[in-house]
């Protein structure tokens, strides 16, 4: 009898021994403003986001190995927030995703690679240089090697009419998506989210292409001594089109079931973490 009571108590208390599960829902969006009109300064070039150890969001096999299950849209609970962004002239939602994962620390929690929005690879090289500008500088009779464009990538949602809605194949190395980065949600006494994402926008920058020629005089009859009159060397500057990365990098402590908003001058993220069975 005592053994039966012990087993019964153990069965009743079993959920407390089970690892917690969390449903994580994320909306990523951009502001419909010109970056040049924002009173902020960003570097023209910066180190790429470190994607080592990340998992593509449509790689179900590797996600499952990390205890992750992608949720279907009928399990979303932030549809109202998404529709408000979609119907507002000042914003464009780029991604709306959700997944379930376990109670894991920063070292073990999955780091998810996400790409969404336009694919600029047909217009720009990986360093942001315009393909048209490079082609126009090639001498006659010499052609540049064609780099195949791709529409692969995890384009979760997009409302700009330039890409299809839905998940596609994993992105190739040459893809340059409008939104590209990584997300990680982990538990370290509290819930945390780490976001390290680039928003890419076409822009213009000044580049030095040379110097203005100096006015040179000669001394002596044979003209073998030249004097530049100590003139200031003037740089020749041209304006070129390029693809610029704007970094969104934030860490936020959260409470489960609360909706959190992470802000940026050019974009934003809405995230909600819900404990399963709570």
158-217 pLDDT, tens digit each? 444 333 334 444 444 468 999 999 999 999 999 999 999 999 999 876 656 566 666 665
Q: What is residue 37's predicted lDDT score, i.e. its pLDDT? A: 85
- Pick the residue with more confidence: 145 or 91? 91
Percent of residues, the chain, with pLDDT higher than 70: 66
* CA separation for the pair 243, 200 (Å, rounded): 6
Average pLDDT over residues 37-65: 91
Q: What is residue 71's predicted lDDT score, i.e. its pLDDT? A: 97
pLDDT digits (tens, 9 = 90+) for 115-137: 999 999 999 998 888 888 766 55
> Which of the four pLDDT bands, split at 50, 70 and 90, describes residue 146?
very low
Q: What is residue 208's predicted lDDT score, i.e. its pLDDT? A: 63
Q: What is residue 132's predicted lDDT score, i.e. its pLDDT? A: 82
Q: What is residue 43's predicted lDDT score, i.e. its pLDDT? A: 86
pLDDT digits (tens, 9 = 90+) for 86-98: 999 999 999 999 9
Percent of residues, the chain, with pLDDT higher than 90: 55
- Pick the residue with more confidence: 219 or 80? 80
Q: What is residue 210's predicted lDDT score, i.e. its pLDDT? A: 63
The answer, yes or no, to whether residue 231 has pLDDT greater than 50, is: yes
> Which of the four pLDDT bands, split at 50, 70 and 90, describes residue 41?
confident
Q: What is residue 148's predicted lDDT score, i.e. its pLDDT? A: 40
């Amino acid at each position: 009898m005592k053994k039966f009571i012990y087993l019964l108590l153990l069965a009743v208390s079993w959920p407390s021994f089970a690892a917690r599960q969390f449903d994580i829902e994320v909306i990523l969006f951009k502001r419909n403003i010109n970056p040049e009109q924002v009173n902020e300064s960003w570097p023209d070039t910066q180190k790429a986001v470190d994607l080592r150890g990340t998992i593509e969001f449509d790689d179900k096999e590797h996600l499952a190995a990390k205890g992750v299950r992608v949720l279907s849209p009928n399990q979303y609970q932030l549809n109202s927030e998404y529709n408000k962004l979609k119907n507002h002239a000042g914003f464009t939602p780029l991604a709306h995703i959700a997944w379930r994962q376990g109670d894991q620390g920063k070292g073990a929690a999955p780091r998810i690679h996400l790409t969404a929005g336009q694919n600029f690879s047909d217009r720009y090289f990986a360093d942001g240089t315009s393909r048209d500008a490079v082609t126009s500088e090639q001498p006659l009779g010499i052609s540049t090697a064609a780099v195949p464009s791709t529409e692969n990538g995890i384009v979760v949602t997009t409302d700009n009419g330039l890409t299809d809605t839905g998940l596609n194949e994993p992105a190739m190395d040459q893809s340059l998506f409008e939104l590209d980065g990584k997300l990680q949600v982990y538990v370290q006494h509290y819930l945390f989210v780490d976001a390290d994402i680039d928003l890419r926008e076409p822009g213009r920058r000044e580049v030095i292409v040379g110097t203005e020629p100096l006015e040179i005089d000669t001394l002596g009859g044979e003209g073998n001594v030249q004097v530049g009159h100590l003139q200031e060397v003037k740089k020749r500057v041209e304006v070129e089109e390029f693809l610029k990365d704007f970094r969104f990098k934030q860490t936020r402590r959260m409470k489960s079931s609360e909706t959190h908003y992470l802000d940026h001058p050019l974009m934003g993220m809405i995230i909600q973490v819900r404990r399963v069975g709570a």
